[in-house]
Amino acid sequence: MKRKISLLLVLAMTTSFMLAGCNAKTGAKAYVESDVIKIGVFEPMTGANAAGGELEVEGAKLANKLYPTVLGKKVELVFADNKSDKVEAASAASNLIEQEHVNAIIGSWGSGNSMAAGDIVMEAKVPAVGASCTNPLVTAGNDYYFRVCFIDPFQGTVMAKYAANKLKAKKVALLQEISSDYSVGICKFFSDEFIKLTGDKDSIVAKSNYNTGDQDFTAQLTNIKSKNPDVIFAPGNFTEGAMIIKQARQLGITAPIIGGDTWETPEFLDIGKEAVEGTVFSTFFASETPITSESKTFLDAYRQEYNKEPAAVSALSYDAYLVILDAIKRAGTADPVKIRDEIAKTKNFPGAAGVITIDENNNAVKDAVLKVVKDGKFTYLDTIKPEQN
């Protein structure tokens, strides 16, 4: 008797699981028109990446303020905090889609956070436009994930060229944030290019790792110091980046330390103080060199709204919003699937951080900007075009 009951229970459970599975598969519901169009802002607002997320939230809010309607309907931003955590990111994304029924999503700062939402937006058929997530895997094989920035193979080669040609480096040490898909990816592209440029397989003299949230890097830096590199490439989260540079200087390491776009936050300067003077990193956009007429609109409005100079990622999330709005306009409907098709067709769209053309891999092809920390400010250094590579 008992056996029969348990068998029955098992059967009931498996069927319910299968049914649940079916429901999840057919996740994309038929689109119903409504009076408001909802755009999800999917960003880290707390945790290790919070400063980056907040900068992107600022950009999206500003865009929404300047362009509050499309197709005669009000556009409402719905905020979801992914807490700088890949598990939380997945549930924040499902929440946006299942509870809030958003028509499209902006975000997220941090490639790892974005990748965590990849399958969810693909299955639900809701388009997502990343602002500054640069790892190629974010959009690879995902028809529903786009981005308005360049990708790490380009960024990595830009920095490798800068190290080899401008800094005349022969030996480089890498310090990568092992838990960040962004950092690991860009380090790989950097080292491939650097080895190609120097023609020396052993030109990467040290490769060390750390975890997001680590505070002590003295052991890794002591190793690097004993290898005496000409340049240290340490792309990763901004607070960790600032702490690495600080501790490197305290250990008497004088080699230039260079990084990637994630460093461009006020916290990097606050924590790093004089130690980060002279550090160079690649990013997307510099307010000193406005590119389009939209750049000017954005810069004026941003300065007035927030009373400070914008970071590149704020301009990008602003652009992500505009690209979605433009797609809705062309589609003539807020049906997520139709929005997706129109985003994919985006061509020569004048955004604040440059002209956006979405390529066949859902990425934007754009210039990179080099910035240097000078007198406690991020200052424009150089522009590097993709074709120069």
Partner 1 sequence: MDLTTFMQNLANGISVGSLYALIAIGYTMVYGILKLINFAHGDIFMMAAYFAFFGVATFGLPWYFAFIIAIAITALLGVGIEFTAYRPLRGAPKISVLISAIGVSFLLENLAVVLFGGRPKAFPDVKLFTDVIVIGGVSIQRLTFIIPIVTIALLFVLLHLVNNTNVGMAMRAASKDVETARLMGINVNRIISFTFAVGSGLAGVGAMMWCVKYPQIGALMGMMPGLKCFIAAVIGGIGDIKGAVIGGFVLGLTEIMLVGFFPSLTGYRDALAFILLIVILLFKPTGIMGKNLTEKV
Residue whose C-alpha is closest to residue 89's, from 103, 104, 109: 109
Q: Quick check: 46 binds partner 1 (CB under 8 A)? A: yes
CA–CA distance, 247 with 243 (Å, rounded to integer): 6
Q: Quick check: 219 binds partner 1 (CB under 8 A)? A: yes
CA–CA distance, 320 with 301 (Å, rounded to integer): 17
For partner 1, which is the closer residue by CB, 221 or 324?
221
For partner 1, which is the closer residue by CB, 276 or 280?
276
Region near partner 1 per CB under 8 A, out of 17-25, 132-140, 209-217, 311-319: 209-217
Q: Which residue has the tokens 């433009």?
A: 326
Region near partner 1 per CB under 8 A, out of 88-96, 208-216, 310-318, 346-354: 208-216
154: its two tokens: 């380009």
Q: Quick check: 45 binds partner 1 (CB under 8 A)? A: yes
Residue 8: alpha-carbon gap to chain centroid: 49
Q: Quick check: 48 binds partner 1 (CB under 8 A)? A: yes
CA–CA distance, 336 with 126 (Å, rounded to integer): 5
How far lies 358's CA from each of 26, 149, 195, 347, in Å?
Answer: 28, 10, 30, 6
CB 115 within 8 A of CB 46: no
Site map (CB under 8 A) of partner 1, residues 129-168, x = contact: ----------------------------------------
Q: Is the previous residue joined to 108 through a cis bond, with omega within 30 degrees of 0?
A: yes
For partner 1, which is the closer residue by CB, 142 or 179?
179
Work out the burial of residue 18: count CB atoms within 10 Å of its CB; fewer than 13 is exposed, 13-18 middle, 19 or more buried: exposed
For partner 1, which is the closer residue by CB, 215 or 307?
215
For partner 1, which is the closer residue by CB, 50 or 62?
50
How far lies 103's CA from each of 41, 57, 322, in Å?
Answer: 11, 18, 14
50: its two tokens: 């919070």
How far lies 7's CA from each of 4, 18, 131, 372, in Å?
Answer: 5, 17, 51, 68
Residue 317: alpha-carbon gap to chain centroid: 10
Q: How many residues bind partner 1 (CB under 8 A)?
A: 37
Site map (CB under 8 A) of partner 1, residues 322-351, x = contact: ------------------------------
- 244 three-class SS: helix
For partner 1, which is the closer residue by CB, 134 or 265?
265
Q: Supply the minimum distance, in Å, between the C-beta of residue 301 and partner 1.
A: 23
Binding partner 1 by CB under 8 A: which of 143, 192, 197, 209? 209
Q: Quick check: 220 binds partner 1 (CB under 8 A)? A: yes
Region near partner 1 per CB under 8 A, out of 14-22, 123-131, 238-246, 368-376: 238-246
Site for partner 1 in 49-68 (CB under 8 A): 50-51, 54
Q: Which residue has the tokens 């924040």?
A: 92
Q: Quick check: 101 binds partner 1 (CB under 8 A)? A: no
Binding partner 1 by CB under 8 A: which of 155, 239, 317, 363? 239
Q: Quick check: 91 binds partner 1 (CB under 8 A)? A: no
Site for partner 1 in 266-305 (CB under 8 A): 267, 270-271, 273
Q: Quick check: 82 binds partner 1 (CB under 8 A)? A: no
For partner 1, which is the closer residue by CB, 222 or 361?
222
91: CB partners within 8 A, 6+ apart: none
Work out the burial of residue 97: count CB atoms within 10 Å of its CB; fewer than 13 is exposed, 13-18 middle, 19 or more buried: buried
Q: Quick check: 252 binds partner 1 (CB under 8 A)? A: yes
60: its two tokens: 């999206």
- Positions that interact with partner 1 (CB under 8 A): 45-48, 50-51, 54, 178-179, 206-211, 213-216, 218-220, 222-223, 225-226, 239, 242-243, 246, 250-252, 267, 270-271, 273
